[in-house]
Structure 1
Amino acid sequence: MSKPTATAAATDRATATDRERTARKAGFASFIGTTVEWYDFYIYSTASALVLGKIFFGGGGDTTGALQAFGSLWLGFLARPIGGIVFGHLGDRIGRKKTLVTTLLMMGIATTLIGLLPGYDQVGLAAPIALVLLRMVQGIAVGGEWGGAVLIASEHAPKEKALSFGAFAQQGSPAGSILATGMFALLTQLPDDDFDAWGWRVPFLFSAVMVVIGLVVRLKVEESPEFVRLRAEKRVARVPLRELVTGHPGSLALGVLASSIGIAATYFITTFVLSWSTDSLGMERSTMLNVLLVYSVLQFITQPFGVVLAARFGPRRTVAALLSLNFALVPVMYACVSTTQPVVVGLGICLLGITGAMNYAILAGLLAAAFPISVRYTGISLSYQLCSALIGGTAPLVGEWLLHSTGGSIVPVVIYQMVLVAVSLICSLALLNRSRTA
């Protein structure tokens, strides 16, 4: 090998090493940021199942209060497509990094303010109105966060590792769930009166500390090199949403439906099942929170194996196997929970949840690969967040309605969840057929 050739090879290796190092740094920042965002989002979900009905809606813990609390939960999801459109536009126009700093600040401020709100008994209707408005700010923030977090990690990575690095953002979901569930598991050890009076507020106020940590990490990350190149080549979309809707409507529709169970599963388990098991089956809420905490830890550990399997066997085979197994395990999980035996309940939740979690790890890269870079932020954000608003966020509300409109039968809920798994399977495979990762 000649000296110039050897030098060029060494330079290429150094460049690849530097890119890998930068990608890991971006991946870590993506993980930390989404952990903070999902922690903030999940504490509201948990609180809505445990206490928000009686504090803000005067529901006294009955079905009406639960439905109102779950309705406010859904309004946060309804706001998420707005965040996807607004911050998707900004992310595709001015860059990923600036957009992500803004979404993190919005989420942290809204969450902290929820922890300071007076209840219905103190200020009447002003309490639920303020709660709903802040929940919608949460929704707008997380609607703009997720897509950018996926891209800041995957676009820093070498092309062949984009799917794996996109999964860094997905790890924020179980990590946020661990922190949120752990917080409430500790606080439910308080006497009920103390928990209702002030204990539930602590997780919301703690968000301020987490946001500071997230900002410190996020501000150190460089802009996505793919976006920098796009801007240098003057190929930035003028109106990303218009280009997305007119140029890629099929990928958008498939992206929405492919995300169905990946988003809804978390809220079936951590919100609907939590409410059903404690209100209808009589389980202690501290017991169920501990079960969910164990599940969240296992999800965090096992979820990355989804992209490992996809790298080994291919995304199509892996998604088909995981979602087929998930489909079969839905009735098993509900049968296990109905026993009210903590070990059996935990086993059922973990068996179903782990298969879904491994598929969820693949989902980010699957969506990112479905859209060209000029509209990628808008495309993956709108796919994910429309699904969140129409399907994921309605899961606890629809589940609660099905349960009580059929006299307490869990069968319609089981069927509904199985339908969502089937829709996700069909549309994920169709999307993979269209995408560059197939």
Structure 2
Amino acid sequence: MNKIRENTVHNTANDTQIDRSKQQKIAGISSVLGSTIEWYDFFLYGTMAAIIFPQLFFPEQDPYVATLLTFSTYAVGYVARPIGGILFGHLGDKIGRKVSLVATLILMGVMTLLVGLLPGYNQIGLWAPIIVTVLRFLQGIAIGGEWPGSVLISMEWGTKKNRGFMAALPQIGVPLGLILGTAVTSLFITVSGDSFQTWGWRVPFILSIFLVIIGLVIRFNLLETPSFKKALEEKELPKLPFVSVFKHYPKQVISGVFSNVSSDIAFGVFAFYTTTYGIKFLGLDKSIFVNATLVGAVIAVFAISLFGYLSDKISPKKILGFGNILLILWALPYFYLLNTKSTGLIFLAIIIAFIIHSIMWAPLAPVIAASFPAHLRFSGSAITFMFRGLIGGGVAPLISTYLLNKFDTGYAISGYIIIAAVIALIALKFVDVKYHKED
């Protein structure tokens, strides 16, 4: 490890003449592409969890129980995220952002390929759900390091005038990954027809390996950020970064988790559970929700870019607060429109939901990452973001399934979303967004 650190410091001298604006563009593009690939893999599982996995891995269960078990394997990915955040946060703060990003991409790619090749319950029995749960766990570990690495490599190459926008660029990878995963899923639903449940669902998972190869080629050409190099030169790196984060920055972690948890819960409901709600509760065709989600994700790409730009002009905290207020106002109308069973109104509900989520999602990165100094920023960002996901999006489909089964109405889920948004607004008052001397 010391040798790697010495090489990184040595490379600093060679990088002094590098055109920062050029590196900024390369970092932005590589972060968006890498993030897109990682989230494609991660969300592809979520999509299949809603439409295929209950029958494939839990065929002998009651439909309600099978759905709960499937979303439990989905939640496992979120449980693993803090572990991945600590592991790759350690690598990212001790060795470098680049090393961690390459490792996360390889891990995610291999696990996703194996999911696509995994036999179902009818072939290998109980081993099928056990193995898919393990693979999902390892996917979660990969995401635990991917998000903070992508954000930091982009944000730290930015300038004081555009850090919010640069930090928002990797966030675009979420809707792009969802677009790609949804589009490929929709394509193979059409192409494979009745064979989708036997082999059609596997192809999107297997194809991801080609995306990973492209992402690796780009990431191998990345340079470390000036902020991390300065931290290396000043020998500020702690032996255990995650311990230092909890010891010296507990307020930043706690306020960061709860001020952003609503966006993750909202996404878990809007992007994933809505499909299950439409199919199981409303009795509608899954293609309506798959296509509406696709349109919403396309619009989100532009919305995230816009509000990332505005976060530099206004304030990341104010943008995030505004998004939470809109979420409170939209939670009830959202399910009202879904319940009409009108295709047009369902599209409208989902599109507006994605725009509101984008308003919260765009400033999330600077709100979290700028709360920590460079020598602890990877670990601090990873821990905060991943615990937010663990209590947010990871359990959102599970809690939504329970609430719907207990109260027999989607408005119970609306209440869940509103409570999360109120908590986020309160926690946001304790968030201190600032950039440090290394920047």
TM-score by length of 1: 0.93
- Name 2:20's counterpart in structure 1: 19
Distance, in Å, in 1 between the alignment partners of 2:262 and 2:218 is: 31
Q: Corresponding residue for 2:320? A: 319
Shift of 1:131: 0.4
CA distance, structure 2, for counterparts of residue 218 and residue 61 of structure 1: 45
Give the partner amino acid of 1:316. Answer: K
Moved more, 415-424 or 144-153: 415-424
Match of 2:412 in 1: 412
1:97 matches 2:95 = no
| Distance in 1, Cα, partners of 2:19 & 2:229 | 17
- Matched to 1:420, the amino acid is A
Alpha-carbon offset, residue 389 of structure 1: 1.3
Please state if 1:426 is matched with 2:426.
Answer: yes
| Aligned pairs for 1:321-360 within 5 A | 321-360=322-361
Shift of residue 134 of structure 1?
Answer: 0.4
Q: Which amino acid in structure 1 is aligned with residue 428 of structure 2? A: S
Retained in 1: the 8 A contact 2:316–2:364? no
Q: Are the structure 2 counterparts of residues 426 and 17 from structure 1 closer, same or farther at C-alpha, using a change threshold of 3 Å? A: farther
User: Structure 2 matches for 1:186-201, cutoff 5 A?
Assistant: 186-190=187-191, 193-201=194-202
Change in Cα spacing, 1:61 to 1:290, as seen in structure 2 (3 Å) is farther
1:98-137 matches, cutoff 5 A: 98-137=99-138
Does the 8 A contact of 2:175 with 2:298 survive in 1? yes
Q: How far 1:55 sits from its partner (Å)? A: 0.4
Q: Which residue of 2 aligns with 1:143?
A: 144
- Residue 309 of structure 1: aligned partner: 310
Please name the residue that 1:435 is paired with. 433
Contact 1:70/1:396 (<8 A) preserved: yes
Q: Does the aligned pair in 1 maintain the 2:373–2:435 contact within 8 Å?
A: no
Select between 300-309 and 166-175 the one with higher mean Cα deviation.
300-309
Q: Distance in 2 between matches of 1:16 and 1:430?
A: 40
- Give distance in 1, aligned partners of 2:322 and 2:147: 26
Distance 2:262 2:228 in 1: 30
Aligned partner of 1:9 in structure 2 is none
Checking the alignment, whether the CA contact within 8 Å between 1:53 and 1:61 is kept in structure 2 is: no
How far the C-alpha of 1:193 sits from its partner, in A, is 3.5
Q: Which residue of 1 aligns with 2:388?
A: 387
1:280 is matched with which residue?
281
Alignment of 1:25-424 (within 5 A): 25-59=26-60, 62-190=63-191, 193-406=194-407, 408-424=408-424
The alignment yields a C-alpha RMSD, in angstroms, of 1.7
Q: Deviations over 1:284-326 (max 9, x none)?
A: 1112111111111111121111122222333333222222122
Q: Larger deviation: 83-92 or 255-264?
A: 255-264
Cα contact 1:19–1:158 (8 A) shared by 2? no
Residues of 2 paired with 1:241 and 1:376: CA distance? 10
Which deviations, in whole Å up to 9, do the C-alpha atoms of 1:394-415 show, x marking residues without a partner?
Answer: 0001000111022x22222110
The residue type paired with residue 57 of structure 2 is F
Tell me how far 1:16 sits from its aligned partner. 11
Instruction: Quote how far apart the aligned CAs of 1:437 are.
Output: 6.2
- What is the CA-CA distance between 1:393 and the residue it aligns to? 0.6
The SS at the match of 2:19 is helix
C-alpha spacing 1:180/1:61, structure 2 compared with 1 (3 Å): farther
Inter-partner Cα distance in structure 2 for 1:321 and 1:356: 11
Residues 299 and 353, structure 1, Cα contact 8 Å, conserved in 2 = yes
Distance 1:242 1:354 in 2: 37
What TM-score, normalized to structure 2? Answer: 0.93
Identity %: 34
Contact kept in structure 1, 2:192 and 2:200, CA below 8 Å: no
Whichever residue aligns with residue 419 of structure 1, its letter is: I
Letter in structure 1 aligned against 2:108:
M
1:272 CA displacement: 0.8
CA contact (8 A) 2:148 2:381 kept: yes
Q: CA deviation digits over 1:161-194, x for unaligned, max 9?
A: 2221111110100000000111111222256630
Aligned residue number for residue 10 of structure 1: none
- Whole-angstrom distance in 1 between the partners of 2:67 and 2:225: 43
Displacement of 1:232 in angstroms is 1.2
Single out whichever of 206-215 and 309-318 deviates more from structure 2: 309-318
Write the distance in 2 (CA, Å) between the matches of 1:271 and 1:317: 27
Measured in 2, the distance between the counterparts of 1:116 and 1:143 equals 24
Q: State the shift of 1:199 in Å.
A: 0.8
Q: Secondary structure at the match of 1:259?
A: helix
Amino acid at match of 1:319: L
Whether contact under 8 Å (1:80, 1:139) holds in the other structure is yes
